[in-house]
Amino acid sequence: MGIYTVREDEAVDKVIAKDLEFIVNRVREALPVRAIILGGGFGRGEGSVLIDNAGIRAVNDYDVFLVISDNDQINVKALSCDMAMQLGIRSIDLITIRYSELERLPATQVYYDLKYGGTLLWGENVLDQIPQYKQGCVDHRSAETLLLNRLVCALEAFSEKFVYNGMSTEERFFLVNQTGKVVSACVEALLMGRGKYHHRYSERRNIFDAEFPNWDTLRRLNRQATAFKLMPSETANIDAIAYWNGMVTEYIKVLVIYFAPRSLQSTLGLWGRLAFDRRNPISDNPIEILELMLLLGWRASFLPRHYVLSQLRRRLEHISNRTFSCVEWEPLRAGAVQLWHQLCH
């Protein structure tokens, strides 16, 4: 393995190290920080890089944690956007943690991964101050949060036009990459539910295969997702449309487990809770509710499709304060994704 990825390639390590040096220097110039820690895949040596004629570049974002003093008030959004633009990557997530909070950080997925998979880039070695979390045990709400956060990944990279007109190399790569994120989230959520979570992709794959031997389709998709995550390629032998459709089926199964009423553990039960149970909402973000309904509406075999799409259009018009003349899935999907990027990103 390399330092930041599974690739044993010094050139890859040098490119990532150069990016990180740039980030550290910019952050230190702009912000009063006590420590800078690399999290995510790159922090634990499982980052995704693409190697092609354009060179070596990070596929996903860099997750960088900034430990700040209690009295400091900082805004990192403009800085993260500016650095991502200069590095030519999709985004850099700058996450702040106050120094006094380190010893009582809850066992969420984010902090569990940071504790056991983070790498100090600069400053005080504060990782030892984060609690020793019980192995495999992550706060149960983390699974729900993760599943909802991945809704936009499931919808933003796919277009119904791809089914009929094909897609470009870039569109295909993005679709496969985002689909893999959702597949991984399904696996992670199920492992969290059993107290068997692990911060490394390769270990999660092995644990999931052992814990869920009868979940054949999701196990197969997860092996594809893990292989692509660790070694992404624009020429990967994956049928992107079939991969996405398979993900949607398995994703909905996991969403039903977590969010459908116990009295009706089915797609119809989940739809009913989303559409009618306002006393017990799945999320306080109406766009996430809309995204989840859109995902269910892709199949819509549980209710007449026109009825489902009409409900989706009314919700989208209410949230966006726009009028949509078409009652078709694709323009509703595109409108919801655009709205998410405007209001949530």
270 token code pair: 């989940």
DSSP reduced 3-state for 98: strand
In a domain, 4, yes or no: no
Q: Which segments of 69-186 are extended strands (E)?
A: 92-98, 119-123
Domain boundary, last residue among 205, 238, 259: 259
**Backbone angle region of 300, left / alpha / beta, with phi > 0 → left and psi within -120 to 50 → alpha:** left
Last residue within a domain, chosen from 79, 110, 129: 129
* Closest among 45, 142, 27, 136 to 92, alpha carbons compared: 27
Structural domain contains residue 210:
yes
Tell me, yes or no, whether 166 and 245 share the same domain.
Answer: yes
Q: What is the pTM of this model?
A: 0.94
- Do residues 28 and 70 both lie within one domain? yes
How far is Cα 257 from Cα 294, in angstroms, rounded to an integer?
Answer: 18
Range of the domain at 290: 263-345
Q: How many domains does the chain have?
A: 3
pLDDT by 10s per residue, the chain, length 345: 899 999 999 999 999 999 999 999 999 999 999 999 999 999 999 999 999 888 898 988 899 999 999 888 788 989 999 999 999 888 899 999 999 999 999 999 999 999 999 999 999 999 999 999 999 999 989 999 999 999 999 999 999 999 999 999 999 999 999 999 999 999 999 999 999 999 999 899 999 999 999 999 999 999 999 999 999 999 889 999 999 999 999 999 999 999 999 899 999 999 999 999 888 899 999 999 999 999 999 988 888 999 999 999 999 999 999 998 888 999 999 999 999 999 886
CB 70 within 8 A of CB 98: yes
